[in-house]
Amino acid sequence: MNRPPVIIALDFPDAASCEALLAQWNEQAKPWIKVGYQLFYAVGPAWVAQKKEEGYSIFLDLKLHDIPNTVAQGVKSLERLGVDILTLHASGGSKMLEAALEARTSERLKLIAVTQLTSTDQQMLNHELGIKSSVEDSVLQLASIARSSKIDGVVCSGQEVTRIKNEIEPPFLTVVPGIRPKGHDTHDQKRIVTPTDAIHNGADYLVVGRPISKARSPRQVYEQIVQEVQEVKESQI
């Protein structure tokens, strides 16, 4: 069976907390996991490489953003860990994105560009960041920079996926955080969608953190999300 496209964000301060959660997936089929910088800075690269060996698919979310040469060297170091997806910021611009792509030695590592964070809303974009477009247009602009730099896809909210799928030439992956099943707390997220809506709009991967990690039964919430995803996919056949 294909691995469900639901990526569990391991936003934890240490390895022990991750192991406690992952103990609920004790069968051979391992889920997708996301390692962000809270965990990466705490556990280091060896832990990530170890998880890959144990059979997890790994989304390394380090959101690289620097001058082109520095990002390229970072990609070279991180590719050696064997991770499946690595993030960088689309707002670093085409030269940075192209340098990252050139540094990668194999297409097995997908490079995914973060557009506008799902914690950004219209008010913040216009009045704080000084970007005068709609959030959706800004996401599309960043996605189009990523596409023309031949990056594999973007992180965006589920609200922009339909336009990306319609306007950006495939193949182009959409990885969607800000996922909230009905009735769950939104926390600091602004542009949220349900698992059903994200998949219906065409999302390739869902990133889910607190709805799973803070749940009383994390595995149960994960399975409910996987079920929602499968139902939408079956209805699309």
- Is there a catalytic annotation at residue 84? no
Residue 217 identity (one-letter amino acid): S
Token pair listed for 132: 């005068």
User: Does residue 180 have a known ligand-binding role?
Assistant: yes
Residue 63 annotated in active site = yes
Site for ligand OMP in 21-50 (CB under 6 A): 36
Contacting ligand OMP within 123-152 (CB under 6 A): none
d(CA 185, CA 210): 9
Among 237, 107, 102, which Cα is nearest to 171's?
107
- Does 87 bind ligand OMP (CB under 6 A)? Our answer is yes
Query: Quick check: is 61 catalytic?
Result: yes
For residue 58, give Cα distances in angstroms to 161, 170, 176, 223.
22, 23, 15, 19
Residue 65 sits in the site that holds ligand OMP (CB under 6 A)? no
155 lies in the site for ligand OMP, by CB under 6 A: yes
Q: Please indicate if the annotation marks 216 as binding a ligand.
A: no
Long-range contacts of 141-147 (CB under 8 A, 24+ apart): 142/90, 142/91, 142/113, 142/115, 142/116, 143/90, 143/113, 143/115, 143/168, 143/172, 144/168, 145/90, 145/93, 145/94, 145/97, 145/113, 146/90, 146/97, 146/113, 146/115, 147/172
Question: Per CB under 6 A, which region of 76-84, 165-173, 205-213, 227-235 contacts ligand OMP?
Answer: 205-213
Name the segment binding ligand OMP (CB under 6 A); options: 69-77, 110-118, 127-135, 158-166.
110-118
Residue 194 lies near ligand OMP (rule: CB under 6 A): no
CB-closest chain residue to ligand OMP? 209
Report the SS3 class of residue 106: coil
**189 marked as binding residue:** yes
| Residues assigned a catalytic role | 61, 63, 66
Q: Which residues participate in the annotated binding site for substrate? A: 11, 34, 61-70, 118, 180, 189, 209-210
Binding site for ligand OMP (CB under 6 A): 9, 11, 36, 61, 87, 114, 117-118, 155, 177-178, 187, 189, 207-211
